[in-house]
Structure 1
């Protein structure tokens, strides 16, 4: 019997949710995705000191800003990841630009240009944008210019519909964080079948497949293997090294739950505009709170990384 991880690969594109390259080499995912929290964690690991050191030396020689050096660290990690995975690497735009369409577009183009300088084409990169209204508008513009986007921090159907309308390449609904909110609110206990995060992804999947939306659905932020198994068959799933290892050791039978030929019942189609988006999001307390929390968390970890860079640059002086 093959492992559940191998069975999952047969029906879903497996993506590694980490900046730790050794774990990526071990589990051989198709794609890799990072965020400010994962980059911060990886940057503090001795194994990757060289990637941070290179950016510090580069920044000192050029008199670069803290932000430019921080971007270079992300590009250093991303470039290394492109040598390991055959598919796409997702790199995130600064969280503190989440409500700045022009800022997100400019940063995305800057990141793509930096990758090009390393010989990494845009076809290997996904630009991660927060699924705010401003992020969706940035994605609309970037996609029209051939820069594929990964809409992150997605917690609601409103965000999914807006991302699909913008022709975003990929949407990342955060299964575990949805689950966390409902547990904290007194819900549960949940099984994989009743898990509200799983239900959210299944609903988005049904909507996209029923109405011919081309945006890829990639479940993210899992708390246990049960959530992953309940979404077997989803377009993509981005999974932490710990859960990849657990799946690789489990030789039970994995049942397919999502199938584009039979997507299940979809909600009514919505004509999305800014007013509708903001109202639907406002009416969804969980999504409103988790989007805000997520942006703050990523911004906090990005600021920690910037502070570390600033300290290192000062030492180098």
Structure 2
């Protein structure tokens, strides 16, 4: 009986012995960490490496750079700074098959846009393969919009509060300076962020165009947001894939809420105006030149009209005086 009890109690005794050893170790570690000797303080200071020792590929950051959120913020800020035309759509949980159908019809519509004419001395650039429709994270996009509009790298670099290294001030988009700037930023009512913020809710998708091309924009709107008479949807005979139930189900879940063109915020009517410019940017330049020429001709005719009237009045008065002089001479004879 005693052997059974000892055999059953042996695991418990071993566990208690192990815990007793572990309980003594933290005390020694704790006592060592509370040492107040100057030599120990200097050693701790030497162990804490300054930020100058951070690698170039991983500068000091206010956010963990390895996380997906940080990478999305970097991606979106780069996208907003380099892309002149972005359309924002609210989507209602499209399936993968519906996204594939929508992108297929979008690609098909963009392929019908004629290639641009070659500019003398430069090769023509076709942006059709570069147009993308992608899902974005709303919260991260909101942070990126704030960074692009309210964070100034040069001002942050000149500030005394900015963290500095031997390689210069730390002013990248994930730095502490950027974090403090957007956290304390006052958003004016007339700012671009204040105009787009009300529609930055729910799941969002972005149509990214690497250039302001009204022709490509019109082709994309004819699929994603058709407008009868202006951007009509393709007919069933011309494009039966557009009227496929899966594609129509996906398009029904997309809603155009706004756009960003050259840093300015446009609503749906403004986007339709940009897409409706005849002849694209060349046509817009032609309209601007014609307008300036018309204004110049109007100013010239106005100035010439005043001087012409004055000249005619003086010539008339001159003729009248000459007639009076001739009449006086005849009377004297």
Larger Rg: 2
Scaled to the shorter chain, the TM-score interval is under 0.3
Q: Provide TM-score, normalisation by structure 1.
A: 0.26
